[in-house]
Amino acid sequence: MKTAVVVIHGIGEQWPMDTLRGFVEAAWSSDPEIIPPGPIQIYSKPDQITGSFELRRITTRLWSGANGRRADFFEFYWAHLMQGNSLSAVVGWLIRLLIRSPARVPRRLLLGWLFGLVVLIGGATLVVFAQMKPEMRPFDWPPLTWALIAAGGGLFSTLWLRPAAGDAARYLSPAPGNVASRQAIREAGIELLTKIKATGDYDRIIVAGHSLGAVIGYDVLNYAWGRIAHTDLVAGHVAQSVVMTTLTALEAAADKLVGTASSPNALTAYREAQRAYFAALSKLNSAKGEPLWLVSDFVTLGCPLSKADVLLGKDETDLNARKALREAPTDPPRFEQQKPPRFSYPADGAARTPHHAAVFGPTVWTNIFYPTVLGAIGDFISGPVASQLGRGVRDVRVPIGFPSFRHLSYWSNPAKRGPNIRALRRALNLRGHTEATLWGAQADVQPVRAEALSERIVPVPAPKAGDTA
């Protein structure tokens, strides 16, 4: 059996395979701990799963050492489904984000909101002035100045605002004109996961999303989980089965993570319980003979969901309501009841099934981000996600280093094995290491500081039965 890695690209009219090739170089080809000796480490093969002639499946050799295993990397390409971006759509989206009462702006975003408001109002003012007759303009600037302002604004709009911000504006806004594209993208993502499962060649899928691709991945996983037939879940969650035992242990670990009596190693224990539940669940088949669920890990890089309270909801109150209604899945999943802790039902049953928003029961979520300084330095798009969507998300902070915009730096310079690469390889966890092995002394620290991670991943022996933390 093999591992499938599905990479979801971000904004900006991406070309097929542009994201995937660089990602594979960082995740596999340049990793001396995983590649076997030899000049050729990967092969680019026709992708018979997506059906697109523009895409390839990048497959690897067996990794080095014992228990050799191969990985297949796929790109979920969606840019062709988001055509027709317009400046008006971007402006409308920005207005909805920025024109609000200061009381509805999260404190951590207040400076960014003020800056965005000034830019929006200033830009609108310049546009109005540029349309005026010269004798009516309040500023006595020469015609060349106005022409340069108009040209600069047009260039910015053509090269970035419309193609890049336009993708985010349309995907994150369920306006009537965007619904068809949003639906098509999500359906395509679910179809890709379904086809990978149906091959019978894989027993594990890792989904990695960059930028807007992280939000798309979040949605795809949510809706894919919701489409598992309830009868199949019921058939698999039999009383006293391994699946049922690991689910109960996971719910108990989740309670220790989010409850008042949180233990020192609660995050590690919870994520190990997730992996145990996944291991049991991934062996179940549906009535059609296909695996019920194979997505073990969700990795987000440069993820806008750090602003979920203004992107998924109107504000924090609205986001909390959506989480309570289980429209926005959290990690750990939302409890059905607290005592005993249950995100499965019937809550008092010996046999229970997880609810429709429990996708992050079996799926471990790791979020990698750069901090931001003054907006332009680091990555203002990303940020920690655990505070928004649950303590089970492991946030990993990568240092900015040379002061520059870092949104495109998550897998750059892989040969240097810098903090960004160390974080990425641990988050993907291709070899299936334990949390203690991956994160060492920071296994229960939020966020993990990537600069403190060692270059080499040193396996930590699993604790023996009876050992205590």
Which range (22-26, 34-38, 76-80, 291-295) has the least confidence?
34-38
Domain contains 60: yes
Domain contains 394: yes
Residue 286 has pLDDT above 70, yes or no: yes
CA angle, corner 408, sides to 406 and 414, nearest 5?
Answer: 95
Residue whose C-alpha is closest to residue 79's, from 144, 9, 143 = 9
Instruction: Kindly list the strands in the beta sheet with 56-60, ordered across the sheet, starting from the edge strand earlier in the chain.
Output: 42-46, 56-60, 71-76, 2-8, 202-210, 295-301, 364-369, 394-397, 448-449
In Å, how far from its chain's centre is CA 314?
A: 21
Report pTM: 0.89
Side-chain-side CA neighbours of 423 within 13 Å: the count stands at 30
**Amino acid letter, residue 325:** L
Residue whose C-alpha is closest to residue 49's, from 79, 113, 18, 4 = 4
* Beta strands at 295-301 and 364-369: parallel, antiparallel or unpaired: parallel
Q: What is the number of structural domains in the chain?
A: 1
CA 284/CA 274 separation, integer angstroms: 16
Q: Identify the pLDDT of residue 469.
A: 42
CA 347/CA 246 separation, integer angstroms: 16
What number of other Cβ atoms are within 10 A of residue 97's Cβ? 21
pLDDT band at 341 (very low <50, low <70, confident <90, very high): very high
- In this structure, the dihedral spanned by the alpha carbons of residues 207, 20, 367 and 71, taken in order and rounded to 10 degrees, is 50
Residue 281 has pLDDT above 70, yes or no: yes
Two tokens at 68?
A: 């050799």
pLDDT band at 444 (very low <50, low <70, confident <90, very high): very high
Signed CA dihedral, 101, 103, 104, 108: sign only: positive
Could you tell me how many residues make up the chain?
469
Domain contains 464: no
Domain contains 409: yes
Query: Which residues share a beta bridge with 372?
Result: 378
Q: What is the mean pLDDT of the chain?
A: 88
Residue whose C-alpha is closest to residue 424's, from 452, 392, 450, 385 = 450
User: Which range marks the domain in which residue 69 is found?
Assistant: 2-82+179-237+295-331+360-452
**Amino acid letter, residue 153:** G
Residue 244 has pLDDT above 80, yes or no: yes
Domain contains 185: yes
Domain contains 173: no
DSSP 451: G
CA 200/CA 153 separation, integer angstroms: 52
Which CATH number goes with the domain that contains 36? 3.40.50
User: Exposed/middle/buried for 59, CB within 10 Å: 0-12, 13-18, 19+?
Assistant: middle
Instruction: State pLDDT tens for residues 412-426.
Output: 999 899 999 999 999
Residue 466 has pLDDT above 60, yes or no: no
Domain contains 131: no
Residue 461 has pLDDT above 80, yes or no: no
Q: Provide mean pLDDT across the span 164-182.
A: 87
Inter-CA distances, 434 with 64, 272, 368, Å: 19, 7, 18
Strand intervals (E) in 173-227: 202-210
Domain contains 99: no
Q: Identify the pLDDT of residue 41.
A: 83
Q: Provide mean pLDDT across the span 349-371.
A: 96
Instruction: State pLDDT tens for residues 122-148.
Output: 666 655 555 555 555 555 666 666 566
* Beta strands at 372-373 and 364-369: parallel, antiparallel or unpaired: unpaired
CA 447/CA 396 separation, integer angstroms: 5
What SS3 state is found at 79?
A: helix
